[in-house]
């Protein structure tokens, strides 16, 4: 717990952030260079989908990252509610726009991939629909932050919203899957779990790591911005009190 | 300039709040409205500001701009400050200046020494500061009749003194002020309109209190 | 004219800075876009048929719900009271506020809607006619929604009541809007004349609603 308290101090955090930021950024760039090289030049084209299959290397990790960030957000919210850790709600708040961007990216690349595969940009396939609902959950979370003026109350209410959303995600996923099979037999593209070849799996995993580090880099930056914004607000409040 | 009210009757929700109120206030005069809660002090100010229609009696502003309503020659400072927390102090003042047709926002800031807060978000202001900001509009917008509803609520000693100076300056410049207040403003009031002393007031006051 | 422009500028600034603005409205729009296929089924042929109607109804609801608070906050914080003492009549104040609402909610929604139509497999030929009809129609939608907000401003829990009052008034805009959007399907003649009728309906609304809103606001302020 003592260690925890240390990072709770914004000044301590900013020092840690200053130390980590360049390293994390550098690793992110290296992972992306390697990952994109592997995906675009090394991995084989699919014999049915030809070169368009390469969209997968951008699309699938983006979807993973979208889900991962929501998990981070929900965990931070839980910490914020249970331990009242001062940095936790900052962490949740600053993660949301990044997660929204990843989810959006996965939706757009999914649509672009859909055109050659299904002949139309959008199909109400179970995965896409679930990702869409996740996108809406992000939007709602960000909207509630904006809507409440008092920062403490906003933090608490947003945490509740995030947690309820998080508990609902598996239920939504399950219901959408059920809805989808109800209407059409699963015929669209499915990744064959264990049969996936290493030449595809490795670039996919590298890209997954790249997205994770990208999130870390962006999140550190966003945390710094948010901590500074709060310090500014505190200083302004103190200043305004003197007038 | 002379503001005259004769035998004014005010009704709200079908009940008579007051009746038979008459007053006159000339240039340079401060008329203080006194009376118990619910006696109709605020209602009278709102009536002059055009927010309540009198059901009886008449009002007249002699020597003002005849082509304009009395309401348009009044400034009404009510309980609510009408500032947006999402905008800065300066943006808020600039809006009201543009809306009411001119006035330098610096005048409003200086009147209650709020200059250092100009670029701060209005959400950061304390209740007293918001009050000062609202009263600052008096210095910015040029209208001859001021209607002040409990202007000193929430003000500290310094700010009350600044308000006093502002009011004196307005009166010296030939303005008219009608104010409801419980405390002594330290300005020699020309007249006191005592709602409790008006005919039948005992009964009326009790009706008002039920509100 | 300066006070009117001041209100317009202020409301646009507030819409941009405060929560509950156009972002939330578009989010709501998207939510309806998800619920529709979930209720009807993912059959693309069927979705294509109902796409224009689905988009219009989502637009109606988004504009209506985003208008809920046009006057409420100004009423609560005393701004509306000060505006009543201003140099312009409340009719112009209402016009300016409705205009700001259209620019900050109605118009962006109307522009976004046809492009979100790809979610419902909208026929691409329909995008342009739908865009034109929605941009024009949304003026009327914003104004009528602002009228609903004006007649309920002094009431707590106005939300549902606004919907009940305003949705029936949306009928002409919806009918001629849909008809004007159907250019690719029903031939140019029908959509052309529908567009002109939609224009006429919009003009009537533009004239009537600020007057009605102004009268309603004046009643509540007194």
Structure-token pair, residue C80 = 């509306």
Q: How confident is the model at residue A239 (pLDDT cuts 50, 70, 90)?
A: confident
Q: Is there a domain that residue B161 lies in?
A: yes
Q: Name the neighbours of C, counting chains with at least 3 Cβ pairs within 8 A.
A: A, B
> Do the chains contact at A129 and C27, CB–CB below 8 Å?
no
Q: Is there a domain that residue A2 lies in?
A: no
> Do the chains contact at A243 and B121, CB–CB below 8 Å?
no
Position A207 scores a pLDDT of 92
Q: Is there a domain that residue A172 lies in?
A: yes
Q: Is there a domain that residue B48 lies in?
A: yes
Q: What is the mean pLDDT of chain C?
A: 87
CB-based contacts of C211, cutoff 8 Å, min separation 6: C91
Q: Is there a domain that residue A208 lies in?
A: yes
Q: Name the neighbours of A, counting chains with at least 3 Cβ pairs within 8 A.
A: B, C
Residues of chain A neighbouring B88 (CB-CB closer than 8 A): none
Position C212 scores a pLDDT of 92
Q: Could you give the number of structural domains in chain A? A: 1
Q: Could you give the number of structural domains in chain B? A: 1
Judge contact between B92 and B122, C-beta under 8 A.
yes
> Do the chains contact at B51 and C81, CB–CB below 8 Å?
yes
Judge contact between C29 and C62, C-beta under 8 A.
yes
Tell me the pLDDT tens digit for each residue of A18-76: 899 999 999 999 999 999 998 888 877 776 667 778 888 899 999 999 999 999 999 99
The residue range of the domain holding A152 is: 19-184+197-239
Asked if the C-beta of B75 comes within 8 angstroms of chain C's C-beta atoms, the answer is: yes
Rounded CA-CA distance C9/A156 in Å is 33
Residues of chain A neighbouring B120 (CB-CB closer than 8 A): 236, 239-240
Q: Which of A67-81, A221-235, B180-194, C201-215 bottoms out in mean pLDDT, i.e. has the lowest?
A: B180-194
Judge contact between B161 and B90, C-beta under 8 A.
no
Q: Is there a domain that residue B87 lies in?
A: no
Q: Is there a domain that residue B158 lies in?
A: yes
Q: Is there a domain that residue B117 lies in?
A: no
Position B79 scores a pLDDT of 86
Position B189 scores a pLDDT of 67
CATH code of the domain containing A170: 1.20.120
**CA geometry: angle at A215 spanning A213 and A218, to 5°?**
110
Rounded CA-CA distance A89/A73 in Å is 9
Closest residue in B to A238 (Cα–Cα): B124
Rounded CA-CA distance C42/C149 in Å is 36
Tell me: pLDDT of C139 over 90. Answer: yes
Asked if the C-beta of A159 comes within 8 angstroms of chain C's C-beta atoms, the answer is: no
Tell me: pLDDT of A2 over 60. Answer: no
> Do the chains contact at A120 and C119, CB–CB below 8 Å?
no
**Hey, how many other C-beta atoms are within 10 angstroms of the C-beta on B128?**
14
- Taking residues C156-171, report their average pLDDT: 83
Q: What is the mean pLDDT of chain B?
A: 82
Residues of chain B neighbouring C2 (CB-CB closer than 8 A): 98-99, 101
Tell me the pLDDT tens digit for each residue of C21-67: 677 888 889 999 889 888 888 888 888 888 899 999 999 999 998 88
Q: Give phi and psi for B27, each to the nearest 5.
A: -50, 135
Q: What is the mean pLDDT of chain A?
A: 84
Q: How confident is the model at residue A237 (pLDDT cuts 50, 70, 90)?
A: confident
Look at residue A119 and give its three-state secondary structure: coil
Asked if the C-beta of A104 comes within 8 angstroms of chain C's C-beta atoms, the answer is: no
CB pairs under 8 A between A and B: 21
CB pairs under 8 A between B and C: 70
Tell me: pLDDT of C96 over 90. Answer: yes
**pLDDT higher for A149 or B125?**
B125
Q: How confident is the model at residue C16 (pLDDT cuts 50, 70, 90)?
A: confident
Q: Is there a domain that residue A82 lies in?
A: yes
From the list A149, A233, A240, which residue is nearest B125 (CB)?
A: A240
Structure-token pair, residue A213 = 């580090």
- Taking residues A183-211, report their average pLDDT: 69
Residues of chain B neighbouring C21 (CB-CB closer than 8 A): none
Residues of chain A neighbouring B121 (CB-CB closer than 8 A): 236
Closest residue in A to B125 (Cα–Cα): A240
From the list B80, B81, B100, which residue is nearest C87 (CB)?
A: B100
**Hey, how many other C-beta atoms are within 10 angstroms of the C-beta on C36?**
21
Q: Is there a domain that residue A1 lies in?
A: no
Position A187 scores a pLDDT of 42
Tell me the pLDDT tens digit for each residue of A101-138: 999 999 999 888 888 887 888 888 888 888 999 999 99
Asked if the C-beta of A173 comes within 8 angstroms of chain C's C-beta atoms, the answer is: no
**pLDDT higher for B198 or A55?**
A55
CATH code of the domain containing B29: 3.40.50.300
Rounded CA-CA distance A142/A104 in Å is 14
Look at residue C222 and give its three-state secondary structure: coil
Q: Which of A6-10, A59-63, B153-157 bottoms out in mean pLDDT, i.e. has the lowest?
A: A6-10
Position A198 scores a pLDDT of 77
Q: How confident is the model at residue A8 (pLDDT cuts 50, 70, 90)?
A: low
Rounded CA-CA distance A165/B64 in Å is 63
Asked if the C-beta of B89 comes within 8 angstroms of chain C's C-beta atoms, the answer is: no
> Do the chains contact at B99 and C3, CB–CB below 8 Å?
yes
Q: What residue spans define the domains of chain C?
A: 2-220
Pairing of strands B191-194, B74-77: unpaired
> Do the chains contact at C34 and A132, CB–CB below 8 Å?
yes
Residues 191-210 of A with CB under 8 A from B: none
The percent of residues above 90 in pLDDT, for chain C, comes to 36
Q: How confident is the model at residue A236 (pLDDT cuts 50, 70, 90)?
A: confident
Rounded CA-CA distance B45/B8 in Å is 12
Tell me: pLDDT of C165 over 80. Answer: yes
Q: Name residue B76's beta-bridge partners.
A: B147
- Taking residues B145-153, report their average pLDDT: 89
Q: How confident is the model at residue C183 (pLDDT cuts 50, 70, 90)?
A: low
Q: Is there a domain that residue B138 lies in?
A: no
Tell me: pLDDT of A230 over 90. Answer: no
Q: How confident is the model at residue C7 (pLDDT cuts 50, 70, 90)?
A: very high
- How near does any CA of chain A get to the CA of C88, in Å? 31
> Do the chains contact at B74 and C85, CB–CB below 8 Å?
yes
Residue of C30, C60, C29 lying closest to C134 (CA atoms): C60
**Residue recorded with tokens 């009011």:** B167
C-alpha to C-alpha distances, A101 to A229, B42, C143, nearest whole angstrom: 22, 53, 34
- Angle formed by the axes of helices C171-181 and C188-221, nearest 10°: 150
pTM: 0.83
> Do the chains contact at C85 and B78, CB–CB below 8 Å?
no
Look at residue A50 and give its three-state secondary structure: strand
Would the ipTM clear 0.90, i.e. be above it? no
Q: How confident is the model at residue C20 (pLDDT cuts 50, 70, 90)?
A: low
Tell me the pLDDT tens digit for each residue of B54-64: 888 888 888 77
Q: What is the DSSP string of chain B?
A: -EEEEEEEEEEETTEEEEEEEEEEEETT-EEEEE--TTSSHHHHHHHHTTSS--SEEEEEEETS-TTS-SGGGEEEE-SS----TTSBHHHHHHHHHHHTT---HHHHHHHTT-GGGTTSBGGG--HHHHHHHHHHHHHHS--SEEEEESTTTT--HHHHHHHHHHHHHHHHTT-EEEEE-SS--SS--SEEEEGGGSTTHHHHHHHHHT-
Torsion of CA B129, B132, B134, B139, to 10 degrees: -150
The residue range of the domain holding B175 is: 2-80+143-210
Tell me the pLDDT tens digit for each residue of B62-120: 877 777 788 888 999 988 888 988 899 999 999 999 999 878 888 888 888 888 888 88
Tell me: pLDDT of B205 over 50. Answer: no
Structure-token pair, residue B72 = 């348009």
């Amino acid at each position: 717990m003592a260690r925890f308290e240390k990072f709770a101090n914004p000044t301590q955090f900013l020092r840690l952030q200053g130390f980590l930021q360049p390293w994390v950024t550098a690793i992110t760039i290296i992972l992306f260079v390697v990952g994109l090289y592997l995906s675009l030049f090394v991995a084989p084209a699919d014999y049915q989908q030809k070169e368009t299959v390469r969209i997968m290397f951008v699309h699938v990790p983006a979807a993973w990252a979208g889900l991962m960030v929501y998990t981070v957000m929900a965990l931070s919210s839980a910490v914020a509610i249970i331990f009242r850790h001062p940095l936790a709600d900052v962490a949740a708040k600053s993660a949301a726009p990044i997660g929204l961007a990843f989810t959006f990216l996965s939706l757009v690349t999914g649509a672009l991939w859909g055109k050659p595969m299904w002949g139309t940009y959008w199909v109400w396939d179970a995965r896409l629909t679930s990702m869409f609902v996740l996108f809406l959950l992000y939007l709602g979370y960000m909207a509630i932050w904006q809507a409440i003026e008092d920062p403490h109350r906003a933090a608490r209410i947003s945490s509740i919203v995030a947690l309820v959303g998080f508990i609902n995600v598996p239920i939504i996923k399950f219901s959408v899957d059920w809805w989808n099979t109800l209407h059409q037999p699963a015929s669209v593209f499915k990744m064959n779990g264990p049969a996936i070849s290493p030449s595809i799996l490795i670039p996919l995993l590298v890209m997954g790591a790249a997205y994770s580090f990208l999130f870390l880099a962006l999140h550190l930056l966003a945390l710094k911005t948010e901590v500074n914004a709060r310090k500014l607000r505190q200083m302004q409040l103190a200043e305004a009190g003197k007038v | 300039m002379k503001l005259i009210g004769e035998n004014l009757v005010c009704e709200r929700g079908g009940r008579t709040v007051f009746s038979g109120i008459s007053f006159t206030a000339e240039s340079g005069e401060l008329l203080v409205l006194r009376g118990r809660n619910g006696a109709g002090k605020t209602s009278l100010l709102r009536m002059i500001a055009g927010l309540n229609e009198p059901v009886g009696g008449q009002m007249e502003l002699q020597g003002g701009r005849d082509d304009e309503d009395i309401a348009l020659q009044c400034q009404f400072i009510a309980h609510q400050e009408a500032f947006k927390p999402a905008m800065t102090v300066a943006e808020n003042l600039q809006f009201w200046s543009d809306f009411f047709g001119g006035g330098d926002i610096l005048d409003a800031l200086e009147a209650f020494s709020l200059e250092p807060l100009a670029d701060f978000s209005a959400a950061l202001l304390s209740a007293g500061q918001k009050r000062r900001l609202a009263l600052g509009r008096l210095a910015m917008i040029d209208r001859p009749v001021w209607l002040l509803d409990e202007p000193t609520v929430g003000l500290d000693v310094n700010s009350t003194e600044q308000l006093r100076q502002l009011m004196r300056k307005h009166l010296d410049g030939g303005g008219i002020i009608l104010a409801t207040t419980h405390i002594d403003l330290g300005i020699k009031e020309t007249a006191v309109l005592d709602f409790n002393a008006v005919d039948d007031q005992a009964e009326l006051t009790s009706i008002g209190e039920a509100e | 004219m300066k006070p009117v422009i001041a209100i317009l500028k202020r409301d646009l600034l507030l819409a941009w800075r405060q929560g509950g603005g156009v972002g939330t409205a578009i989010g709501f729009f998207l939510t309806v876009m998800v619920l529709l296929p979930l209720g009807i089924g993912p059959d693309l042929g069927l979705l294509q048929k109902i796409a224009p109607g689905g988009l219009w109804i989502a637009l109606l609801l988004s504009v209506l719900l985003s208008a809920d608070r046009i006057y409420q906050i100004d009423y609560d914080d005393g701004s509306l009271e000060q505006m009543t003492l201003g140099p312009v009549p409340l009719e112009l104040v209402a016009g300016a506020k409705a205009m700001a609402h259209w620019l900050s909610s109605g118009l962006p929604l109307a522009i976004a809607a046809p492009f979100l139509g790809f979610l419902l497999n909208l026929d691409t030929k329909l995008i342009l006619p739908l865009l034109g009809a929605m941009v024009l129609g949304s003026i009327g939608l914003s104004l009528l929604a602002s009228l609903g907000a004006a007649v309920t401003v002094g009431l707590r829990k106005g939300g549902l009541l606004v919907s009940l009052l305003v949705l029936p008034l949306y009928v002409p805009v919806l009918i001629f809007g849909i008809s004007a959007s159907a250019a690719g399907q029903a031939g140019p003649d029908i959509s052309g004349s529908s567009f002109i009728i939609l224009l006429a309906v919009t003009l009537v609304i533009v004239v009537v609603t600020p007057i009605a809103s102004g009268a309603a606001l004046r009643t509540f302020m007194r």
